[in-house]
Amino acid sequence: MFKVSVYVTPKRGVVDPQGAVVERALPGLGHTTAGNIRVGRYITLEVEGSDPEKAKADVDDMCRRLLANPIIEDYRFEITAGDASAKEGN
Amino acid sequence: MTAGRVRFGVVVFPGSNCDYDACHVLSTFPEADPYYLWHKDHDLKAADCVILPGGFSYGDYLRTGAIARFSPIMQEVAAFANAGGLVLGICNGFQILTEAHLLHGALRRNRGLRFLCMPVYLRVERTDTPFTRCLEAGQVIQVPINHFEGNWTAGAERLQEIERQNLVAFRYCDADGQVAEAANPNGATDNVAGIVNENANVLGMMPHPERVCEDILGGTSGRGIFQSLLDTVLERRGA
């Protein structure tokens, strides 16, 4: 079994209305140092099996077809199994 | 005309809420025979045209339209569309069609993060489609929008291709038909309010034509779209 963390973020160059609104709100709290705010989604899941390569391929397929919309979003994920851990980006 | 009335299958997803409006409006056209299709159906029941109505299918979880796209009936809808069948997606229906890759682009949250419920003006960009043949080129129609995620966009290369192939059916404009940034309610790229696919047998649009089909509700400017579909099907049958 693998534990998976998926990070979905707006593609670079794609306008991020949520990030823009958060960025405009922070100065109201006195925070004038923050910029380039992008709001995404963090998804955790568990994947059955013992083959890390298969798990990576499966998660990549899940990301591409459902968890992210590749037209407007990028994704990357981290997979950990027991003590061993492997990181995969995209 | 040879055959009977034109069959409109209106798909009902869990969370659809404009399905009754669509069926009701179609029932005011004597030539139309509207009926509901449940999202778990595997049969379009001899539809001449499929309508994906507005609403909040699957609670808009994950992304608008992302889950509905995998409903059983969407396999049938995709096969129907790919074979040239007429498919109209309104609001959430448009979002589902982009997630299903039956139309280009994606719908993001509105610029300014406000849910928008208001009348807008649309300029008719295409009149050579089965959805717009009863409209006039450059005609300005007033139609309401009612959405949080109507901010359409596509990748830069895709945008060029969309313009080159002239796939934009409607753009947000002002009352005089000027496509200006000030008339863009949600931040959609190039003021796009509705697009068709390459064969122009699939249309997706954020505004709600079914809400302006009766004088008692403030206008009839949406009727031209449904009349266009009726004329198209009846003409094909008569040919």
d(C-alpha A84, C-alpha A86), whole Å: 7
Residue A21 forms part of a structural domain: no
| A84 at interface of B, judged by CB pairs closer than 8 A | no
Which residues make Cβ contacts (< 8 Å) with residue B185, sequence separation at least 6?
B110, B116, B118, B120, B145, B150, B172
Among B70, B113, B155, the residue with its CB nearest the CB of A71 is B155
Instruction: Measure A44 CA to nearest chain B CA, in Å.
Output: 13
User: What is the pTM for the complete model shown?
Assistant: 0.91
Share of chain B above pLDDT 70, in %: 99
Residue A65 forms part of a structural domain: yes
How confident is the model over B85-102, as pLDDT tens digits?
Answer: 999 999 999 999 999 999
Q: Give the model's confidence band at A89: pLDDT under 50 very low, under 70 low, under 90 confident, else very high.
A: low
| A15 at interface of B, judged by CB pairs closer than 8 A | yes
Domain boundaries, chain B: 6-238
Long-range CB contacts (within 8 A, 24+) of B75-82: B75/B42, B76/B41, B76/B42, B76/B43, B76/B44, B77/B11, B77/B44, B77/B50, B77/B52, B77/B102, B78/B102, B80/B44, B80/B47, B80/B50, B81/B50, B81/B197, B81/B201, B81/B202
Say how many domains are in chain A. 1
Residue A80 forms part of a structural domain: yes
Is A90 a residue whose pLDDT tops 60? Answer: no
Is A42 a residue whose pLDDT tops 70? Answer: yes
Q: In terms of residues, how long is chain B?
A: 239
What's residue B156's pLDDT? 87
Q: What is the CATH number of the domain that holds A6?
A: 3.30.1280.10
CATH class label, B6-238:
alpha beta
| A12 at interface of B, judged by CB pairs closer than 8 A | no
Q: What ipTM was estimated for this complex?
A: 0.80
How confident is the model over A59-75, as pLDDT tens digits?
Answer: 999 999 999 999 999 99
What's residue B137's pLDDT? 95
Q: Show residues of chain B in contact with A71, CB under 8 Å.
A: 98, 105-106, 154-155, 158
DSSP-derived secondary structure letter, B55: B
pLDDT: which is higher, B171 or B2? B171
What's the whole-number mean pLDDT along residues B43-56?
Answer: 97
Instruction: Measure B95 CA to nearest chain A CA, in Å.
Output: 12
What's the whole-number mean pLDDT along residues B52-71?
Answer: 93
Q: Domain range spanning residue A44?
A: 2-14+40-88
Residue A10 forms part of a structural domain: yes
